[in-house]
Amino acid sequence: MPGRTTKEDTPQDAQMEDAPTSAQVGEAQVEDEIEEDQEEEVEPQRVRILPGSTDTAASFEFIDEGHTLGNALRYVIMKNPDVEFCAYSIPHPSEPKMNIRIQTYDGHAVDALKKGLADLQDVCDVVAEKFWTKREEYNAEHGIAR
């Protein structure tokens, strides 16, 4: 029936946990988007090391990621002085996959990837903080109350 409501004692995320996993692509995307408060749900593994990789030269496959993350991650990883080479590619446009290749002078490729993801988070914090400060300043200056 339309407009059904859940009983107060039923946790909302239980609805999604009970659902059987299916092979449909659309579903994987939905699960990807589930918000933080539903994190107890087991997320499928979306990152793997491709065969043929060594400690200092590895390729990683990301499922359900694209140019948005690929290029940003490539940039911060290239900023790491221990990294000799980093590039990303989307092998085929109809597969939801993104590959990243990392070769290092020193240390593990996995560590360079981890550092890249951590640096990106730091960048986001700085951008958000500065953006909000400026927005508040601009709104105060122009009498915008929202």
Partner 1 sequence: MAPSKKASWTNAPDAEELEKRNTVGIHKETVTHNTSVDFPGHVPGEDEAFSLDRFRDGFSVDFHQNDPFHASFSLMGIDASLSNAFRRILISEIPTLAVENVFIEINTSVVQDEVLAHRLGLIPFKGGKEGLHNFLKWHKKPEPGEDAYKNSYDWNTVSLELNVKCTLNEDADPREDDPRKAYHNAHVYARDIVFTPTGAQEQYFAGDDAIAPVHPDILIAKMRPGQQIGLTMHMHKGIGADHAKFSPVATASYRLMPIIKITRPILGADAEKFQKCFPDGVIALDKVSAKEAAQKGSGYESHVGETKAVVADPMRDTVSRECLRHPEFEGKVKLGRRRDHFIFSIESSGQWDSDELFMESVKHMKLKCKKLEQQVMDMVR
Q: In the range 73-132, which residues lie near partner 1 by CB under 8 A?
A: 74-76, 78-82, 84, 105-106, 110, 113-114, 117-128, 130-132
Q: Is residue 41 part of the contact set for partner 1 (CB under 8 A)?
A: no
- Among residues 14, 21, 25, 43, which is the contact residue for partner 1, using CB under 8 A? 43
Strands across the sheet containing 83-89: 47-49, 57-63, 97-104, 83-89
Q: Which two tokens stand for residue 54?
A: 């060594």
Q: Measured between alpha carbons, how far is 146 from 143 in angstroms, rounded to an integer?
A: 10
Q: Select from 111, 58, 119, 66 the least CA-distant residue to 89.
A: 66
Q: Is residue 21 part of the contact set for partner 1 (CB under 8 A)?
A: no
Q: Which of residues 56-75 bind partner 1 (CB under 8 A)?
A: 62, 65, 67-69, 71-72, 74-75
CB of 1 to partner 1, least distance (A): 6
